[in-house]
A and B are shown apart, each in its own frame.
Chain A
Amino acid sequence: MSAVVDTAPAASAATAAVSRAPLAYYPGCSLHGTSREFDESLRAVLAALKVPIAEIDDWSCCGASSAHATDHLLGVALPARNLALAEAQGFSSVLAPCAACYNRLSAARLAFADEEGMAERIPDVLGRPFANTVEVQSVVELLREAAAAIEEKVAAAPTPNPLAGLRLAAYYGCLLVRPPEVAAFDDPEAPTSMDEVITACGADAVGWNMKVECCGGAFSVGRTASVVRLGRAIIEDARRNGAEAIVVACPLCHSNLDLRQKAMLSRGEKPVPVLFVTQVVGLALGLSASKLGLDRHFVDTEPFIRRLVEQAAVRAAAEEKARAEAAAKATARREAVDASADGAPGSTDGGA
């Protein structure tokens, strides 16, 4: 395992700070299915940041809302199996990018530690030993820790940053921040971690009201009308506060706001692209839209990305022109000084 870290090329101070033994990667069902682009962009970004990950062998579903909503013990045991596998496979920390998986894995850890009888019951239910030693990390937490490395890489990128000055709304929803004792890495009412990642990418994180409102989660299929009502309020608020796109870290939030957006817009309104936080970081690092799976969305991101790249090129050209003009002016001034020095040596003496 340490070989992966040892063979990493000479890294800068900031990237070296995030290098470590591989994290156990728990993709969960969505990242292998309906949110493949979250998996693709995560792998691309972590490779660029030199954070090694290794998928937990033979992982199973965490049960998401359905186990939790119908059977408490099942809602603890299903995620616990994956923590037990990670433990047996020698990992000390699990990265769970899906907000629902992150929440269920963390909740299982807490239930095992705090609830009477759980510590004896869970190994029996699983049929394998479990000591609850593996920590669970959200991708937002990991990217916030890597903010300095991201900033450094964005500054060093050969192409102009397409995200410079772009106004983005960081949308956390429920599972990344609640319950506060389970999702403890940020404030439950006014979280800032994803905003910090957006800022590290050179974009502007807008202030808005719906950061931690629920998108309707698992009701997408069973009660679509409620999801459309809740999603519309989120999209309207983001737009009202000047956001050009919404940033998420949850496959449910993504599909509810992206796939269902058609039904949320009034006639003539422009759709708002919904991006995974890993796709945002990838764009800032100069990775290609197709590598980040941006072509898999229902709200077409192609015109949006093209506009960003064109604007960045125009901005870079303008900066280049301004630099050239400033340099030309400086040269002209120098020449004028030199000329006057050559032509009338006495005047420089007098002017001193």
Chain B
Amino acid sequence: MLADIRRDALRCYQCGKCSAGCPMGSEMTLKPHDVMRLVATGKARRAAADESIWLCLTCETCSARCPNDCDPAGVIDTLRGLSLEADVADAPRRIGAFHRAFLAQIESNGRLHEMGMVMDYKLRTGDLMKDVTNAPGMVTRGKLSLRPDRIRGMAEVKRIFEKCGEA
């Protein structure tokens, strides 16, 4: 995996087009072209430990615009996986909590139960008042259901999570 992304990053000639179009670039310490440079020079682990890779929205603008056909979005995807594996994850706490709360819903119901996810997220982050004022409006508009919608094929979903966890 490291060899693959290094090969990709070695094609990068640092024009900066990826960072210019990145919607989160202004909030990142390491912008996409910086990440590419670190990976190309064998410092992928430093990039994997930085919170910038968790600010990527996976909007794919960088990869779609790269004039030399590099794939910064794919490189950052791989770095996020590495950072989780090596437990150097410096995911901004709230973004990581959101992803975990989202996947926990699928693992227990097969589908996303938004109310359950938001409660789980609040417990993970302690951010209990987050969006509380929006909740009544969501309910009156019929956008939040109180009960999860559980699928019949839960055994299949559990198998998918187990098999992916082993890999």
Interface set of A (CB-CB < 8 Å, partner B): 29-30, 32-36, 58-61, 63-74, 77-78, 81, 124-128, 173-174, 178-180, 188-189, 212-214, 216-219, 221-223, 226, 230, 259, 295-298
- A74 and B142 contacting across the interface, CB-CB below 8 Å: no
- Tell which of B24, B105, B145 has the most Cβ of chain A within 10 Å: B24
B161 contacts the other chain (CB 8 A)? yes
B2 contacts the other chain (CB 8 A)? no
3 smallest beta-carbon distances between A and B, as pairs: A214-B59, A29-B112, A222-B98
> Among residues 107 to 139 in chain B, which have CB atoms less than 8 Å away from a CB atom of chain A?
110-114, 118, 121, 130-131, 134, 137-138
B19 contacts the other chain (CB 8 A)? no
> Among residues 69 to 98 in chain B, which have CB atoms less than 8 Å away from a CB atom of chain A?
73, 77-78, 80-81, 84, 92, 94-95, 97-98
Classify chain B: how many residues form its interface, as a range: 35 or more
A61 to B64, CA, bound (A): 26
Interface set of B (CB-CB < 8 Å, partner A): 23-24, 27, 55-61, 63-65, 73, 77-78, 80-81, 84, 92, 94-95, 97-99, 102-103, 105-106, 110-114, 118, 121, 130-131, 134, 137-138, 141-145, 149, 151-153, 156-157, 159-161, 163-164, 167
What's the nearest-Cβ distance from chain A to residue B60, in Å? 4
- B81 and A71 contacting across the interface, CB-CB below 8 Å: yes
- B81 and A70 contacting across the interface, CB-CB below 8 Å: yes
- The answer, among B77, B106, B138, for a CB contact under 8 Å with A60, is B106
- The answer, among B23, B63, B102, for a CB contact under 8 Å with A64, is B102
A176 to B77, CA, bound (A): 19
- The answer, among A68, A125, A212, A221, for a CB contact under 8 Å with B163, is A125
Residues on the B chain within 8 Å of A77, using CB = 160, 163-164
A70 to B160, CA, bound (A): 15
- The answer, among A29, A179, A221, for a CB contact under 8 Å with B111, is A29
- B137 and A61 contacting across the interface, CB-CB below 8 Å: no
A217 to B131, CA, bound (A): 17
Residues on the B chain within 8 Å of A30, using CB = 112
- B60 and A69 contacting across the interface, CB-CB below 8 Å: no
What's the nearest-Cβ distance from chain B to residue A102, in Å? 14
Show 17 residue pairs from A and B whose CB-CB distance is below 8 angstroms, ordered by the A residue.
A30-B112, A34-B114, A36-B142, A63-B103, A65-B57, A67-B106, A68-B58, A71-B81, A124-B163, A126-B160, A127-B159, A178-B60, A178-B61, A212-B61, A216-B23, A217-B58, A221-B131
